[in-house]
Structure 1
Amino acid sequence: MANVKASPQFIRLCNQFSRILGGEHEIDPGPVCFVSRARRLNATILGRRTTSPLVRYQLFSFESLDKSGRALCLGETALFQNQANRLIRNLQRNGIKVTALHNHWLNDNPRLMYIHWESIDNPIAFARKTKRSIAFLG
């Protein structure tokens, strides 16, 4: 965890957010609770196997926590193209706004896509909704 001024409440909330999502966390200036979660994706780029963090990490954050306990909550993951519609539906059913679907790489196999999502929500509620939405990705 970075040496950042954050209230004990924010630190506890970040710890719980991270536990729900199953990732490693840090608190960045802001404060921003940032969580990264590694996954295994069996893919190649330009014919070479990749295990790059640019491909395998899911990223989540919350910041700008207000007095009612709601924050700006963000998420992002790479996934295979044939999984994109299911994740979009899952997120939307949980009241989370999908903001982007795009590729990053050329000549990847299978085709990798990236999805970004956002919500103003209680961070714990957002973490639980996100966890349910992405559970099928493994």
Structure 2
Amino acid sequence: GMTVPIAMGSANAINFQPTGAGKAAVTGDFVITGDEVNPMIKTLRANGIEVTAIHSHMLTEQPRVFFVHFWANDDALKLAKGLRAALDKTAVAKN
């Protein structure tokens, strides 16, 4: 494979907003390949994180690239662990 630079729109966005009592609202999107879609959705849902949209911006790219949007409001640590588990289902470089 080849590394796709962030400038090409391949960055993941994860936003946390405290909502009180150790909870946070999280929203954002992951940019993933087609073979990563189902494992990521299963992992997000298993961790109480709702998938709000899945779409593609392009028609003929290879490999296929999808944007998975998510939302949840729950215990901040639980959500952080769930998002980490979802990221672990991808080929994202870990620094």
Normalised to the residue count of structure 1, the TM-score between the two structures is 0.58
Q: CA offset at residue 99 of structure 1?
A: 0.5
Unaligned runs of 5+ residues in structure 2 are: none
Paired position in structure 1 for 2:85: 132
Larger Rg: 1
Paired position in structure 1 for 2:70: 117
**Residue of structure 1 aligned with 2:7, choices 45, 53, 58:** 53
Paired position in structure 1 for 2:2: 42
The share of aligned pairs that are identical, in percent, is 23
C-alpha distance in 1 between matches for 2:55 and 2:45: 17
Q: CA RMSD in A?
A: 2.0
Q: CA offset at residue 126 of structure 1?
A: 0.9
Aligned to 1:82, the other structure's residue is in SS state helix
C-alpha distance in 2 between matches for 1:106 and 1:52: 20
Q: CA 1:134–1:52 in 2, change beyond 3 Å: closer, same or farther?
A: closer
Q: CA 1:62–1:52 in 2, change beyond 3 Å: closer, same or farther?
A: closer
Normalised to the residue count of structure 2, the TM-score between the two structures is 0.81
Number of residue pairs aligned between Structure 1 and Structure 2: 91
Aligned to 1:57, the other structure's residue is in SS state coil
Q: CA offset at residue 92 of structure 1?
A: 0.7
Q: CA offset at residue 107 of structure 1?
A: 2.6
Q: Looking at both structures, which has the greater relative contact order when contacts are Cα pairs under 8 Å and sequence separation is at least 6?
A: 2
AA aligned opposite 2:67: Y
C-alpha distance in 2 between matches for 1:87 and 1:102: 14
